Structure 1
Amino acid sequence: MTELARQAASGMDAGEPAGGQQVLDHLVALLDLEKLEENFFRGVSPAHSPVRVFGGQVAGQALVAAGRTVPEDRGVHSLHAYFIRGGDPSVPIVYEVDRIRDGRSFTTRRVIAIQHGKAIFSLSASFQKDERGIEHADGMPDVPPPDSLPTLAERVGDFPHLSTMRTRPRPIDLRYVNDPPWLTRETGERPARNQVWMRADGVLPDERLLHVCVLTYASDMTLLDSPLARHGVYWELDKVLGASLDHALWFHRPFRADEWFLYDTETPSASGARGLATGRFFAADGTLIATVVQEGLLRVLD
């Protein structure tokens, strides 16, 4: 196990703050996989993990594993993933990389995450050399700047059932533009759209793949807020069983994950105990940097 991996596995001390550079450094350590042998890597979960491994963690680690087998002049432009089984945070995850293709412009990798001898996650990622071509993009919605918005801890306020959201170590600074779903649940609003400013809560190293993996980690946060909020329910306040089923990301332009970006999500459909959510990431200057689609299992029990 690498020294960074040991730091990630050790978790945060109980007296440490819920965010900041030290917590972000633990995320960077979490994404620093141990190389077992050619095409095999091992990752760990933080000590403060919930019952299941966070989906953004396994997606980010799998993308790191894929990227470690790709030339540095090729950046990831898309990934498609399936969450097959819930991950066990108490044991390491082994990532097996299949080198599908190395072309003149594109490189394709497939990654399987394994625990207890079984696949828990699969990812296909495509990497491309930088090329020039036609350019266009949607514009960013008109939203207030992040520094004018309350923090997540302030938004949680007096909701005792959500107290862990204030104290749980978070490497991502998160500011809701709209009222969060635990508030709209009380007011009777049924918004189909959710907007959140995000950034890594500190300074990241100048490593292109790391910034992409941190955004991948963050992309699994708040995405299923949209289908839940539309029906006036929320994870820790109602009897909801949920899990990510599949996840797709397209990276359009360079960005830094330690600078503010807007996560603009909405839900076109929910049926069959599944909810679909789509999202767009915009840099603070309005540049469209990534697009995401996810379907999640959403079983509302009462």
Structure 2
Amino acid sequence: MLVGQDAVDSLLGVLDLEEIDKGLFRGPQPEVGLQRVFGGQVAGQALVAAGRTVPGDRRVHSLHGYFVRPGDSSKPIVYQVENIRDGRSFSVRRTVALQGGQTIFFMSASFHTGESGLEHADPVPNDMPGPEEIPPLSEQLQSHPDRLGIWARVPRPIDVRYEGGSGFSASGERPAREHQRVWLKADGKLPDDPLIHVCVLTYASDLTLLDSVLARHGEVWGPGGYLGTSLDHALWFHRPFRADEWILYDSTSPTADLGRGLAQGRFYQDGAHIASAMQEGLLRQTPETPGVP
């Protein structure tokens, strides 16, 4: 299992797409991964592909994606980028992720030069302990090693620190709460390219967001709890940031019904609201069986 800078370098390798033709890219898979491709990886790679076709003075300010089919982690993914528009200050791209000739994910992303205008932002939550005061997930779950699940089997390029318990807690041990708050950052140094930082945050945004739906009910992932699948994902990037420095991810779930839950999150760094996320996921209850999927 890779951790620290080794895991970060592995993620950077996954985000380093091969251009095989104009607007056509091939995305590598991590050396060790899940049977299904992690949604944040697909979204991050799709954004890299789109970003490489955009003029250098424009930075992504939003993306909207749909997960259509599960991806196979044993095969590379091909990303096809369509140039929708290049205007005076905006560029729009549509990226389709393909495996075996079938679409597994598609995404629209908009890029902007940035302009002067009105400025405001809601304040950062002030009742959150600092990241150094919260142990990483691996330490939080030392008393329940069987609950580590996928975290114990795959590279961990993102240091994630939950306040007040996570969806990997043992069943019955997680208190219900309206807000789920985590500190996160790349667990190593990233290059200075702003696109890389945005793509790493895109990857990280899918790690914990859907968990906020379970948090409203004190529920957990795995046997006796729930399995979740991302259906769509949207991100808005408001201000520059570094993904290798601590970011507070404050998320909540305003509604859940009919087997689906909606989650929304805000990212803060150095007191500034840097990005926002929305996601809907499919949640299915699991029977009491040994082990964690």
Query: Normalization by structure 1: what TM-score?
Result: 0.91
What residue in structure 2 maps to residue 150 of structure 1? 135
Structure-to-structure mapping, 1:276-291, within 5 angstroms: 276-283=262-269, 285-291=270-276
Q: CA deviation at 1:299?
A: 1.2
Return the letter of the residue paired with 1:264.
D
Sequence identity of aligned pairs in percent? 56
Counterpart position of 2:190: 204
Give the root-mean-square deviation of aligned CA atoms. Answer: 1.5
Deviating more after overlay: 62-71 vs 234-243: 234-243
**How far does the alpha carbon of each residue in 1:210-244 deviate from its partner, in whole angstroms, 9 at most, with x for none?**
00000000000111111112233322243523210
Aligned amino acid, residue 15 of structure 2:
L
Aligned to 1:112: 96
Residue equivalent to 2:25: 41
Inter-partner Cα distance in structure 2 for 1:238 and 1:34: 42
Q: Give 1:188 shift.
A: 6.0
Structure 1 residues 187 and 26: CA distance shift in structure 2, 3 A: closer
User: Which digits, 9 at most, give the CA deviation of each residue in 1:38-61, with x for residues without a partner?
Assistant: 000000211211111000000000
Aligned with 2:208: secondary structure? coil
Opposite residue 131 of structure 1, the aligned amino acid is E
1:256 aligns with 2:242: yes
For 2:210 and 2:154, how far apart are their aligned partners in 1? Answer: 20
Contact 1:161 1:237 in 2 (8 A): no
Instruction: Return 5+ residue gaps in structure 2 as ranges.
Output: 288-293
Match of 1:128 in 2: 112
Conserved in 2, the CA contact under 8 Å of 1:184 and 1:190?
Answer: no
Corresponding residue of 1:298: 283
1:218 counterpart residue number: 204
Structure 1 residue 197: deviation in Å?
0.2
Name 2:77's counterpart in structure 1.
Answer: 93
Residue correspondences, number: 285
SS at match of 2:190: coil
Contact kept? 1:193, 1:266, Cα under 8 Å: yes
Secondary structure (helix, strand or coil) at the match of 2:206 reads coil
Q: Distance in 2 between matches of 1:220 and 1:171?
A: 13
Map of 1:9 onto structure 2? none
- Give the drift of 1:166: 4.1
Match of 2:159 among 157, 161, 173: 173
Q: Deviations over 1:88-123 (max 9, x none)?
A: 111110000000000000000000000011000000
Q: Distance in 2 between matches of 1:163 and 1:180?
A: 11
Contact 1:185 1:229 (8 Å CA) reproduced: no
Instruction: Give the letter aligned to residue 300 of structure 1.
Output: Q
Contact 2:212 2:252 in 1 (8 A): yes
Deviations 1:173-212 (A, max 9, x none): 1111222234484246211210000000111001010000
**Residue aligning to 1:102:** 86
Report the Cα distance in structure 2 between the residues aligned to 1:255 and 1:188, rounded to whole angstroms. 32
Q: 1:55-106: CA deviations, max 9, x gaps?
A: 0000000000000000111000000000000001111100000000000000
Q: Structure 1: where are the runs of 5+ without partners?
A: 1-13
Equivalent positions of 1:62-101 (< 5 A) are 62-101=46-85
Q: Which residue pairs with 2:290 in the alignment? A: none
What is the match of residue 7 of structure 1?
Answer: none
TM-score (norm 2): 0.93
Say which SS state the counterpart of residue 276 (structure 1) adopts.
Answer: strand
Give the Cα–Cα distance (whole angstroms) in 1 for the partners of residues 223 and 239 of structure 2. 38
- The AA in structure 1 aligned to 2:278 is V
Match of 1:140 in 2: 124
Name the amino acid aligned to 1:180.
Answer: S
